[in-house]
Amino acid sequence: MAAAGFEPGYGHLSTTAEWDEYEWCWTGALTGWALTEARDDDRAAALELARTHRRQWLKGYRGQLGFLTVVLHDLR
């Protein structure tokens, strides 16, 4: 990273539980909006998007993909 002008100062690798929480919130919020607030013409598309994403996550990349947060200091 130093070659790119940055030095890491802190990092956090999310746990599986944190990643699951993020995914459930993402799909759950979209599902909730679709069922309670979406116009009729948006509801089906929003529910399909939430279902597709949830399926891809649970039957696909869950456990394969994580999330890393790094605080970088500018060396310049």
Q: Which two tokens stand for residue 53?
A: 């994403």
Residues 39-48: tens digit of each pLDDT: 999 999 999 9
Global model pTM greater than 0.85: no
Q: pLDDT tier at 66 (50, 70, 90 boundaries)?
A: confident
Of the chain, the end-to-end C-alpha distance in Å amounts to: 12
How does the average pLDDT of the chain come out, rounded? Answer: 94
With a cut of 90, say whether residue 1 has pLDDT above it. Answer: no
**Mean pLDDT (whole number) for 17-36:** 96
**pLDDT value for 67:** 86
